[in-house]
Each structure stands twice: as C-alpha cells, then as structure tokens.
Amino acid sequence: MFDPIKRLSYTIRLKSEQFLRQLSLQSMILPGLTLMAIFEYWPLYGLIIAFEDYSIIHETFFEAPFVGFAHFKEFFTDPNALRVIRNSLGINLIGLLVAFPITIIFALLLNEVTVRKYKRFVQTVSYLPHFVSWVIFIGIVELMLSVDNGVLNEVLMNLGLIKEPIFFMGRADYFWPLAAFTRLAKEMGWGAIIYLAAMAGIDPQLYEAAIVDGASRLQRMWHITLPGISQTIIILFILRAAQSIRWGFQQIYMMQNPVNISMSETIETYVFKTGLQNLRFSYATAVGLFQSVVSVVLLIIADQLSKRLAGKGIF
C-alpha cells in the first residue's frame, strides 16, 4: 500500500545520503548562500520595525512598541509623501512614453546602417556612457547645461534663440523631463543591444521576398523588422512599466538641489533622508516596504499580462 510518511522518510534519507556524498559540491554553494542569508534574508526579518516605534535604543527588532499601520497611515496622509510618490511615477511616465520608444527607434535606424564598420562604430560609441558613473555623467551634463558659460546656453544664445541663459538645473518644472532624458542619453545605446539582437534573429528570406515585391526601405522596417521584434518590445515594455515606482537612487540623488527638490524627491531618496538623516527608522522602513510590495504586485501583474500578450511569462 502507498504510505506517504514512509515514502517521505525514504526520500529524505535518499537525499541526505546524496547530500553527504556531494559535500564538496555543496561547499561551493555555501559562501553564496551565507551571503544571501545575511544580507538579503536577515533584513527581511527587520521589516517588522515598520509596524513598531523602533529607535536606536532598542537592541533587537522585537523590543520596540507595536504600533500597527500607524506609519503607513502617516505616509499616506502627508502631502509631502504623496508628492514623493507623484514624482517617482511622473519621471517614470516620461521615461516610459518618450525614452522607451526613442530607444526602439534608435535600434531600428541603427539596424538600417548598411556599412558594417560604421554600424559597429556608432554602436560602440552609443553604449560608452553606460559604463561611465552617474556621478561623472551628471557632472558633465551639468557642465553642459550650466548657466555661466555652459555650452548649451552659449550655443543657444549665439544662435539668437534665447536672450538670457536658462538655468536648467534650477527649474523644478524641468526636473522630470531632464531626469528622463539624462537617463536616455546614458542608456539608449545599451538598451538598443537587446533589440538589435532580436532583429538579427529575423529570417533574411523575409527581406529578400519583400525586395522582390518592391517594398521600400521604410516599408520593410515597418512591415518586417518592427513586427519581428514586437514580442521583445512587449516584454520589455511590461517589465519597464512594472518598475514604475522606482527610479535609480544614484542618478536622482546626484541631480537634486534645494531649488528642484519639490519635483525631484523620489521614494528612494525620501527613504534615505527620513531614515538615515532624520533617524526615523520605522517610518522610513514602512515607506520602503510599501515600495517593495507595490513592485512585487506590479511584477506579478506584468507577468500575467506578458503571458496573455506575448505568449510567455517574464520569469
């Protein structure tokens, strides 16, 4: 007769015998596993302080008084906090609606360059900024945009397009597009790689047949190349949309100044400041937890959508 307990104990015995026979293989897993446990899973248990009034005086995460959802309530009723969510979403929206399509257009156009050496040269240059640090990239962007003799202002003034130099970094209302475009300028070439790879996988016979039928360059791009990468586009779009609540800390923090702060404070920088500069550990943990939970929910929705639209999940 089938006996689940007997069977389970048999499996366990078998597995542990196997485990003992491959100790040296298991020891290769150990360093990574330990690091993961300490730096990723141990902090999970610290999330409990989001529901407490934790402060520096407490030795363990469980000593502090329990306050339930008080910090979450405070976050959602504070106008400052809502502004932080709005900024995170706003920058992402511009990124998604403008920067995302531009990367695709760049890949499409680069793919049409027929001289291979030129194509490779453009591509090599285009992903160079990806490897430059945010600190230096923003530093250089700020030099270009500077009010006192920044190159952009000088050129615009010499062309007679503006009379007074524009203080690009000092205008709060410029911040969202500026953040989105700075990232586009840095990551466009790198982001195009995946589309170019998808284009390389399109059957050349399709193009040959189209040429025989007299299709023009643009027609071929529109009717063959674009549909050929549509699955990649859908998956990447959904993935990007799922990250709508985050935007890299390193870039935003670099670009912030007292003038633009009302439009430039995102959830990440807000958590950093309330938590580690104002030492409101519990409150900042609650805000961070909110962000992580939203991210996971968005990702699950994205996976379902992707299954439906592109025929396969993202995981």
Partner 1 sequence: MAEYRTKTDWAFEIFNYILMAAIVFFTLFPFWNAFVGSFNKGIDFARGGVYFWPREFTLSNYIAVFQNSRILSAYRVTVLRTVIGTILSVLVCALFAYAFSRKDLVGKNLYGVMGLGIMFFYSGLIPTYMIIKRLGLINNFLVYLFPHMFNFFYVLMMQAYFKENIPTSLIESAKMNGAGEYRIFFSLVLPLSKPIIAVMLLFQGVWHWNYYKDALIYTTKPELETLQLLLMKVIRTAQQSSVMAQAAATAGTTSTSVQMATMMVATLPILALYPFLQRYFVKGIMVGAVKG
Interactions with partner 1, residue window 200-219 (CB under 8 A): 208, 211, 214, 216-218
Between residue 221 and residue 280, which ones bind partner 1 under the rule CB under 8 A? 249-250, 253-254, 256-257, 268, 271-272, 275-276
Task: Please state, in angstroms and rounded to a whole number, the distance separating the CA atoms of residues 27 and 33.
Answer: 10
Q: Is 132 one of the binding residues for partner 1 (CB under 8 A)? A: yes
The CA-atom distances, in angstroms, between 33 and each of 21, 25, 36, 202 are 19, 13, 5, 40
Query: For partner 1, which residue of 7, 10, 11, 43 counts as binding (CB under 8 A)?
Result: 43
Total interface residues for partner 1 by CB under 8 A:
92
Q: Is 281 one of the binding residues for partner 1 (CB under 8 A)? A: yes
**Residue 66 β-bridge partners:** 52
Question: Going residue by residue from 67 to 106, which x/- string records binding to partner 1, judged by CB under 8 A?
Answer: ---------------------------------------x
Task: Please state, in angstroms and rounded to a whole number, the distance separating the CA atoms of residues 57 and 71.
Answer: 19
**1 or 23, CB closer to partner 1?**
23
In the complex, least distance from residue 68 CB atom to partner 1, rounded to whole angstroms: 18
Task: Please state, in angstroms and rounded to a whole number, the distance separating the CA atoms of residues 36 and 42.
Answer: 9
**2 or 116, CB closer to partner 1?**
116
**112 or 309, CB closer to partner 1?**
112
**93 or 112, CB closer to partner 1?**
112
Q: Is 144 one of the binding residues for partner 1 (CB under 8 A)? A: yes
Taking a C-beta distance cutoff of 8 angstroms, is the pair 55, 64 a contact? Answer: yes
Q: Is 35 one of the binding residues for partner 1 (CB under 8 A)? A: yes
Task: Please state, in angstroms and rounded to a whole number, the distance separating the CA atoms of residues 5 and 10.
Answer: 8
Q: Is 62 one of the binding residues for partner 1 (CB under 8 A)? A: no
Q: Is 133 one of the binding residues for partner 1 (CB under 8 A)? A: yes
Task: Please state, in angstroms and rounded to a whole number, the distance separating the CA atoms of residues 176 and 182.
Answer: 10
Between residue 162 and residue 181, which ones bind partner 1 under the rule CB under 8 A? none
Q: Which region among 62-70, 79-87, 191-199, 304-312 touches partner 1 (by CB under 8 A)?
A: 191-199
Q: Return the SS3 of 167.
A: coil
Task: Please state, in angstroms and rounded to a whole number, the distance separating the CA atoms of residues 80 and 87.
Answer: 11
Taking a C-beta distance cutoff of 8 angstroms, is the pair 251, 134 a contact? Answer: yes
CB half-sphere exposure, 34, CA atoms < 13 A: 5
**Residue 52 β-bridge partners:** 66
CB half-sphere exposure, 261, CA atoms < 13 A: 8
Between residue 8 and residue 27, which ones bind partner 1 under the rule CB under 8 A? 15, 18-19, 22, 24-26
Q: Is 185 one of the binding residues for partner 1 (CB under 8 A)? A: yes
Q: Is 41 one of the binding residues for partner 1 (CB under 8 A)? A: yes
In the complex, least distance from residue 116 CB atom to partner 1, rounded to whole angstroms: 13
Question: Residues 258, 263, 269, CA angle at the centre, nearest 5°?
Answer: 75
Task: Please state, in angstroms and rounded to a whole number, the distance separating the CA atoms of residues 146 and 279.
Answer: 34
**3 or 48, CB closer to partner 1?**
48
In the complex, least distance from residue 1 CB atom to partner 1, rounded to whole angstroms: 28
